[in-house]
Amino acid sequence: MILINCPYCGEREQSEFTNGGEAHVIRPKDPDSLNDKDWGQYVFYRSNPKGIFYERWVHSHGCRKWFNAVRDTSTDTILKIYKLTDNKPDISEFQSSLKSPSGEPAVGSGNFAVKK
Amino acid sequence: MKKKYSILSLIKNAFSNNENWEKMWESPEPKKGYDVIIVGGGGHGLGTAYYLAKEHGIKNIAVIEKGWLGGGNTGRNTTIIRSNYLWNESAHLYDHSVKLWENLSEELNFNMMFSQRGVMNLAHNEHDIKEMKRRISANRLNGLDTQWVDTKQIKELVPIMNTENLRYPVLGAAFQPRGGVARHDAVAWGYALRSNEMGVDIIQNCEVKDIKTDNHKVQGVNTSKGFIRANKVAVVASGHTSVLAQTAGVRLPLQSRPLQALVSEPIKPVINTVVMSNAVHAYVSQSDKGELVIGAGTDGYNSFTQRGGYDVIEETVRAIVELYPIFGKMKMLRQWGGIVDICPDASPIISKCEVKGLYFNCGWGTGGFKATPGSANVFAHTVAKDEPHKINEAFNLERFSNGRLIDEHGAAAVAH
């Protein structure tokens, strides 16, 4: 279980929160002008990186407020938490712990056999 | 040379303390190029190699695995096999698989320990009953053997179940007698053994770092053992499929999440079928060793850590103890997590894509093990012929733009 530092309530267990998937997905301004493929991209396709991931959380069993987080999905380390009104932090602020796209990080992986 | 296993070979090797068993497959260095490279040495990937060699005469194949064979989700699931899915497309796909499971031990001359002990899906409320009866009707129209069993029949099949004295009483169940469990390692090893005999190179401890494409055509893969050229690349890397697809510039509608399972200390036989419950989120079966095999749910967020949160286990174990008070004092031996790739409609993708020569078999989410032989069989057809088999035609990538989704959130059972 990971701890999440709610910007309004402080650090709580992850089970108090609900994940809202990828952050900064913008609804197309003029959906009628999109073809099926582009609309499908908006509805069904989300980033799924191993490494740095921008995501939304809501403190369901707390203040019930939404906020954004940057998390390394290969280790579950939360790198930054920011409010919805804050700007999207630049990816260059964060360092990925991965040596290769599908590789395992030095710490945090449950897959010990492939760790180098 | 074809390796045969029999009672005689067992006795013979018992005399030498089982230390002189021949190696089941070679571990060669990769060649410069192959006709087909399969990324991912789990059951689906090795099976694909087997059917490509056996049914389509393509033998210049490499299966590249970053860890060890069957060490990903093939070795991390709860080994449940069933085909009671709602929609025609899924019923055909999963039943194709169950039919292959039924003869697999004989076909590969390798014991799959496939045990058709039945799979039961419990109903806990009026909605469950209606939804399950609808699914049973759909299944029967597709020729599947699913049937409704009432509480009395459930008690006869599983005497240890608490059906009344709990918050969500057990009101009945959908039961598929042809469902069951199999040995998870055996399917990977069996396919590896027989495909290796037909000339397939199995390369372990070799990570595919990226897929090289040129002008929308696949060129090969960069690996930790260098570049390997290939005419066709088939990616069967479960949770990591979307990561690899990204390196070829292909976006897939997948989200990777940890899915956990746990086993208890071994006990004498108490439960001789597989019982699943979507509503209270518990499923359990008993392995031949006597351990209870319990499946938990997925974590609520994307992750590649192969661990999963403790609260997810707690929720499952709570439901198990309420359903089976007899398990209340049992100790759990092991817990583990695997990274599953979940599709928006809880159905897999077995498809080619916009890059020529690049194929994906992914999105199996929380229920890929049951489909191993069927998925491998139709995927081999897709790779060999560059067009889908009739059975996997509907499981294409286009469905996420034309809207022909195959929504199996109900039949995919727990964890979605």
Tokens 């490499």 -> residue: B62
Question: Helical H runs in B28-75?
Answer: 43-55
Q: Provide the domain count of chain A.
A: 1
Q: For the domain that residue A82 is a member of, what is the CATH number?
A: 3.30.2270.10
B410 phi and psi angles, rounded to 5 deg? -75, -50
For residue A101, tell me if it sits in a domain: no
Range of the domain at A65: 3-93
Q: What is the pLDDT of residues A2-17, one digit of tens each?
A: 899 999 999 999 999 9
- Dihedral (Cα; B99, B88, B260, B77), 10-degree rounding: 10
Tell me the C-alpha distance between B306 and B308, whole Å. 6
For residue A106, tell me if it sits in a domain: no
For residue A103, tell me if it sits in a domain: no
Least confident stretch, B2-11, B51-60, B279-288, B346-355: B2-11
For residue A104, tell me if it sits in a domain: no
Give me the residue from B240, B307, B401 closest to A110, CB to CB: B307
Question: Measured between beta carbons, which residues in chain B are less than 8 angstroms from residue A114?
Answer: 66-67, 205, 207
B253/A contact by beta carbon, under 8 A: yes
Residue B72 has pLDDT above 80, yes or no: yes
Question: Measured between beta carbons, which residues in chain B are less than 8 angstroms from residue A14?
Answer: 301, 309, 311
Tell me the C-alpha distance between B41 and B109, whole Å. 20
Residues 6+ apart with CB under 8 A from A18: A57, A58, A60, B300
For residue A98, tell me if it sits in a domain: no
Q: Which helix (H) or strand (E) holds B169?
A: none
Q: What is the pLDDT of residues B217-238, one digit of tens each?
A: 999 999 999 999 999 999 999 9
* Band (A30; pLDDT cuts 50, 70, 90): very high
Q: Find out whether B112 and B101 touch, Cβ atoms under 8 Å.
A: yes
For residue A105, tell me if it sits in a domain: no
Judged on CB neighbours under 10 Å (0-12, 13-18, 19+), B393 is middle
Question: Measured between beta carbons, which residues in chain A are less than 8 angstroms from residue B251?
Answer: 41, 45
Give me the residue from A13, A36, A74 closest to B305, CB to CB: A74
Helix (H, G, I), strand (E, B) or coil at B398: coil
Question: Measured between beta carbons, which residues in chain B are less than 8 angstroms from residue A79?
Answer: none
Task: Please answer yes or no on whether A14 and B403 come within 8 Å at the CB atom.
Answer: no
* pTM, to two decimals: 0.94
Tokens 């286990």 -> residue: B313
Least confident stretch, A89-103, B33-47, B123-137, B389-403: A89-103
Residues 6+ apart with CB under 8 A from B323: B161, B162, B166, B170, B275, B277, B280, B282
Question: Measured between beta carbons, which residues in chain A are less than 8 angstroms from residue B66?
Answer: 102-103, 114
Helix axes B43-55 and B372-385, enclosed angle (nearest 10):
50
For residue A112, tell me if it sits in a domain: no
Q: Which site among A36, A50, A59 would you substitute to test the B interface, given the most B Cβ atoms closer than 10 Å to its Cβ?
A: A50
For residue A61, tell me if it sits in a domain: yes
Helix (H, G, I), strand (E, B) or coil at B8: helix
